[in-house]
């Protein structure tokens, strides 16, 4: 299996955190199951080889996913299965890119996975047709042109909440809502309303998700302990840490950090 990330061009860096590629082998006899965890950002995804089915419910009912589409900011984990060789090209987006790209509030797309054609009509269909048969360099060029057209003409002046979202990500979910509102000269109510529109969630829930994400950075640290991870990530006690981790990943943190899981298998072969 191959997983790698690619830095975006400088002009898109305020909106795109990274491009990424995931490729692997699977078959009917040896399917690959992938688990996505809660995430404060969104992803534009293209299944250029193979297609995943989503597993839902206790009976693991299977629903075919899109060929290309958006995985909105999400507060819960999801599971997917593929039974053939696969290739995915992704664009990891700050959540506030969604309203600029698709003229929809981020909270309308949170925990949703609409197809690109459903969001962008013929324009999305054309992008899908360009990306699927291309090589990775061409994919980046096609997607960059699409994003530049949509984002760079509509983002100025940048709303203060964009910086607030980036600060929460940078500070790993430790910022206080009132302090952020004061920083950007907004009332708490106005800040929370704008924040939800551009991030997909309330500031409090968004900060919890980002704090959970920050803990995952220690996945490959052989010296990790649950207590150290909890306090280093801003949790007041281990019980809150365990509760959030189970809510956002479906795993007890001990299972996640010290065993190979559906959520971490692809990281074993990460390259840059």
Do residues 31 and 120 both lie within one domain? yes
Q: What is the domain-level CATH number for residue 125?
A: 2.60.120
Surface-to-core class of residue 144, CB atoms within 10 Å of its CB (0-12 exposed, 13-18 middle, 19+ buried): middle
Q: Are 201 and 107 in contact (CB under 8 A)?
A: yes
Do residues 29 and 64 both lie within one domain? yes
Model confidence pLDDT, tens digit, residues 151-186:
987 657 888 899 999 999 999 888 888 888 888 777
Q: How far is CA 217 from CA 125, 210, 233, 267, in A?
A: 35, 11, 10, 11
Place of tokens 């290739």: 87
Model confidence pLDDT, tens digit, residues 59-68:
899 999 999 9
Do residues 110 and 87 both lie within one domain? yes
Do residues 54 and 181 both lie within one domain? no
Do residues 187 and 108 both lie within one domain? no
For residues 151-181, b (16+ Cβ closer than 10 Å) or e, as one string?
A: beeeeeeeeebbebbeebbeebbebebeebb
pLDDT exceeds cutoff 60 at 105? yes
Separation of alpha carbons 188 and 210, rounded Å: 20
Q: State residue 222's pLDDT score.
A: 55
Cis peptide before 66 (omega within 30 of 0): no
Choosing from 135, 152, 169, the residue where a domain stops is: 152
Do residues 48 and 146 both lie within one domain? yes
Model confidence pLDDT, tens digit, residues 34-59:
999 999 999 999 999 999 999 998 88
Do residues 244 and 192 both lie within one domain? no
**What residue numbers bound the domain in which 178 lies?**
157-216
pTM for the model stands at: 0.93
Do residues 181 and 251 both lie within one domain? no
Model confidence pLDDT, tens digit, residues 230-268:
877 778 888 889 999 999 999 998 888 877 788 887 766
* Number of structural domains in the chain: 3
Q: Are strands 2-6 and 270-271 parallel, antiparallel or unpaired?
A: parallel
């Amino acid at each position: 299996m191959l997983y790698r990330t690619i830095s975006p061009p400088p002009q898109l860096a305020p909106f795109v955190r990274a491009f990424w590629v995931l490729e692997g082998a699977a078959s009917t006899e040896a399917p690959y199951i992938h688990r996505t965890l809660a995430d404060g950002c969104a992803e534009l995804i293209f299944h250029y080889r193979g297609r995943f089915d989503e597993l839902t419910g206790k009976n693991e009912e299977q629903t075919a996913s899109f060929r290309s589409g958006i995985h909105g900011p999400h507060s819960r984990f999801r599971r997917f299965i593929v039974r053939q060789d696969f290739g995915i090209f992704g664009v990891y987006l700050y959540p506030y890119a969604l309203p600029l790209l698709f003229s929809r509030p981020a909270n309308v797309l949170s925990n949703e996975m609409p197809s690109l054609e459903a969001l962008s009509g013929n324009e999305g269909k054309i992008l899908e047709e360009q990306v699927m048969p291309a090589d990775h360099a061409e994919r980046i060029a096609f997607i960059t042109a699409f994003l530049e057209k949509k984002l760079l003409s509509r983002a100025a002046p940048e709303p203060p909440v964009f910086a607030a979202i980036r600060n929460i990500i940078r500070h790993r979910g430790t910022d206080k809502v009132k302090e952020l509102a004061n920083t950007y000269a907004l009332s708490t109510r106005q800040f929370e309303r704008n924040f939800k529109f551009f991030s997909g969630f309330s500031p409090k829930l968004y900060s919890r998700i980002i704090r959970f994400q920050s803990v995952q950075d220690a996945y490959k640290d052989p010296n990790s302990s649950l207590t150290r991870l909890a306090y280093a990530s801003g949790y007041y006690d281990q019980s809150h840490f365990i509760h959030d981790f189970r809510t956002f990943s479906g795993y007890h943190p001990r299972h996640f950090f010290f065993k190979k899981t559906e959520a971490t298998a692809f990281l074993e072969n990460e390259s840059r």
